[in-house]
Copies of this chain bind each other. A is one copy, B any other.
Amino acid sequence: MEQQIVSAIKHRVLPHPALVVGIGDDAAITRVTPGKQLVTTTDMLMDGVDFLLASTDPVLVGRKSLAVNLSDLAAMAAVPVGAVISLALPRQGGEQLVRQLFDGILPLAAEFQLAIAGGDTNSWDGPLAISITVWGEVEPGEAWLRSTARVGDKLHVTGALGGSILERQFTFTPRVNEAQQLRRSAQVTAAMDISDGLLIDLARLCEASQCGAVLDLDKIPVHADAVRLSLQEHPTATPDELQAFALEHALADGEDFELLLTIAPSDPLAAQSIGEITSARGIFARAADGSLRALTIRGYEHQFRA
């Protein structure tokens, strides 16, 4: 069965200029642009942890498995090149499942000119697990790191946050193109993607950069999904209460997959900042009057919409 599945995948994979040898040999061979460095990331998504196969469209599961990896490349400002995909398929219905997963994977790969270079397809008595490794390229020294934020840098996010559980955790667009544009137009000093929530991920960036941060809570872009989710959860709340609930979702929900960036204070983009990097450790909220209060770091625990 596995040979047939691999053969079916092979026939659906698009050619790619970087691909010298693709699916079917012991390994894939790809070209590297002269002078570039390699950026590699891997993510494993598992039934019951990252999704519930019983209640989620497998096409979306496949798409997400690749999208989270592309988001990690975006966080490094890397240009995607190739991917290898390993599957642990439940024995029952594995053949149909793999077709659906690739219905989600292949269009996203095409959208970001990513070569599907190979993989490993297996069946077992366990639940579905999907492990994807993606690589891309950067100019030496041009990758964005978590560890290079400087005191006084401004905080920036690429989009509105919160309520991703309603749908966006499966349908988000990895910020690959936005990262390339920002790499050219802005003085980005550090970056990461927001996978576990703004507060916890900002705390990680600060730990890596040995600094703290202040957030201007009124400037944090709250996604409409955060408001919708708050309305579902608190149908009788007042508008002020709803605003507070939605902000909480924007701060602590995970799976936004927007980029969190630090920008040099002299950069024009700094005008739209949501806060700034401080020498004082910890994450603080700044009120309109400039007063600070420490925020509790609260982040994402893997959740699903059952």
Contacts and interface: CB of A to CB of B under 8 A. Distances in A.
A113 interface: no
A208 B123 CA distance: 24
Contacts of A21: 143, 145
6 contacts: A26-B41, A27-B76, A27-B78, A30-B40, A40-B133, A44-B120
A210 interface: no
A25 interface: yes
Interface in A24-79: 24-32, 34-44, 46-49, 72-73, 75-76, 78
A76 B72 CA distance: 29
Interface stretch (A81-89, A218-226, A276-284): A81-89
A86 B131 CA distance: 7
Contacts of A24: 146, 208
Nearest to A137: B32
Given A48-B125, A48-B126, A126-B129, A32 B26 contact: no
CB-based closest 10 A-B pairs:
A131-B131, A27-B41, A133-B133, A26-B75, A44-B86, A42-B84, A126-B126, A26-B72, A30-B38, A32-B32
Q: In the complex, which of the residues A35, A84, A133 has the most CB atoms of chain B within 10 Å of its own CB atom? A: A133
A119 B124 CA distance: 22
A42 B34 CA distance: 24
B27 A75 contact: yes
A32 to B, nearest CB: 5
B127 A76 contact: no
A131 B86 CA distance: 7
A29 B126 contact: no
Q: In the complex, which of the residues A20, A29, A84, A118 has the most CB atoms of chain B within 10 Å of its own CB atom? A: A29
A34 B35 contact: yes
Contact of A26 (B25, B28, B37, B193): B193
B38 A31 contact: yes
